Amino acid sequence: MALEGSIKEFGLADILQLLYFQRKTGLLSIQGPSDVVRLLFYEGNIVSVESRKRPEARLGMILQKKGLISKETLQEALKEQAQRGGRLGHILLRKGLPKEALRETLTQQFTDIVTYLFTWREGRYEFRPQGVPIDKEVPISLDTQHLLMEGLRILDEWSLLKGKITLDTVFVRTGAEEPELSEQELSIYRLVDGENDVSAIVALSGLDSFQVSKALLALYDKGLIEQKVPPPPPLKKLRPPLRIPDYVATLALAAMLLLALLLSPRGLQTEASRTSQALDSLRFTLELHKLRHGSYPQSLGALGDVPLQDAWGRPFVYRPLQEGYLLLSTGPDGLQGSGDDLY
């Protein structure tokens, strides 16, 4: 059955410890005030991390700034991804990016995101046991026990910086000339460009988030950098009110009502949202089947009147496993493991 609740009552350390010691395989979703993070577990260890605030295109930006790929290569890869789908990292591998460079960068990104979760004090979590696809080209497995210890260490250190800086903070330099600094502070100072946030500087510097944050605050206290303030939204020009004849307003209202009647809520949903709802319904039915019969069915057909296809008309991928099951939609491109699969 699914495990869900509030991280106020059951903290991230407790959740990770439970999943690690029970060698769980499945999807852990954590929704906080400003981000949604998805962690894929395989036998208790983390094999993939996704964050809405740090989309996959960010990986390409970091690889480019590390000098591992050119700007042209990144643009070509992003264009190919938009046209054909698939994971950006896999596309870059085909364009000559070394596997070890990709694995190292992804591991650093995954680690930073997970350890930063330890600073969250509010949010909801949900874990669902299910089959998890393993990236065969660039397999990554983060030791959950090591992350627990690292996360608790960073939590203690970050308490000193609470309210002063976050991984999303962006700084700009206040002067044009390069100041005299220690080697570490100078390396951090050179990465401040008004575009890199703290997490990007961490990835580019090779230091941990606490070291980078301390260096940035030291530079801030010296007046060498300042926090970038996002520009205010442009003011909309107010137009004088139009005098609309009563009969035109009546016709417009009638047209809107007719449109609302013709478009049912289902018609307003995207294929992805309809597919996600169907997957939720299937998972509930699968758990009900296990409660009644003691095990998951060998096929979805054994569940009776349930949706067997996604919104694109393709059959769901289902396979019972020794612990749990694999259930997914291959998404818009119809290819399993291409990055747009829905779970």
* Token representation of residue 271: 């294929």
- Residues 232-243, mean pLDDT to the nearest whole number: 57
Dmax of the chain from CA atoms?
Answer: 75
Residue 285 burial class via C-beta count within 10 angstroms: exposed 0-12, middle 13-18, buried 19 and up: middle
| Higher-scoring residue by pLDDT: 246, 280 | 280
Which two structure tokens, joined as six digits, stand for 120?
């969250």
Cα distance between residue 35 and residue 197, in whole Å: 16
> pTM of the full predicted structure?
0.54
pLDDT score for 203: 79
Question: Which helix (H) or strand (E) is 84 found in, with range?
Answer: helix 71-84
Q: Kindly report, residue by residue over 282-319, the tens digit of the pLDDT.
A: 776 777 677 677 788 888 888 777 778 888 888 888 88
User: Is there a contact between 318 and 303 (Cβ–Cβ < 8 Å)?
Assistant: no
More confident residue, 133 or 97: 97
Residues whose CB is less than 8 angstroms from the CB of residue 299 and which lie 6 or more positions away in sequence, other chains included: 318
Q: Positive or negative, the Cα torsion across 97, 35, 53, 326?
A: positive
**Element of type H or E holding 177:** none
Residue 283 phi, psi (nearest 5): -60, -40
Of 169, 92, 125, 158, residue with least CA distance to 12: 125
Residue 242 has pLDDT above 70, yes or no: no
The predicted model gives 101-119 an average pLDDT of 85
* pLDDT of 28 over the 90 cut: yes
Amino acid identity, position 304: G
For residue 62, the model assigns a pLDDT of: 86
DSSP 1-66: --EEEETTTS-HHHHHHHHHHTT--EEEEEE-SS-EEEEEEETTEEEEEEESSS-THHHHHHHHHT
Q: Can you say whether the dihedral through the CA atoms of 179, 184, 190, 195 is positive or negative?
A: negative
Please report the pLDDT score of residue 286 as a whole number. Answer: 76
Q: Where are the alpha helices (DSSP H) in the chain?
A: 12-21, 57-65, 71-84, 88-94, 99-117, 144-158, 183-189, 198-205, 209-221, 246-262, 265-268, 271-293
Over residues 113-126, the mean pLDDT reads 84
- Strand, helix or coil for residue 333: coil
Q: Which amino acid is at 30?
A: I
Q: Are 331 and 321 in contact (CB under 8 A)?
A: no
To the nearest whole number, what is the mean pLDDT of the chain?
A: 80
Average pLDDT of span 25-54: 89
Q: Is 210 within 8 Å of 158 (Cβ atoms)?
A: yes
CA 289, CA 304: separation in Å to the nearest integer?
Answer: 11
pLDDT tens-digit series, residues 123-169: 999 999 998 888 888 888 888 888 888 777 766 665 555 556 777 78
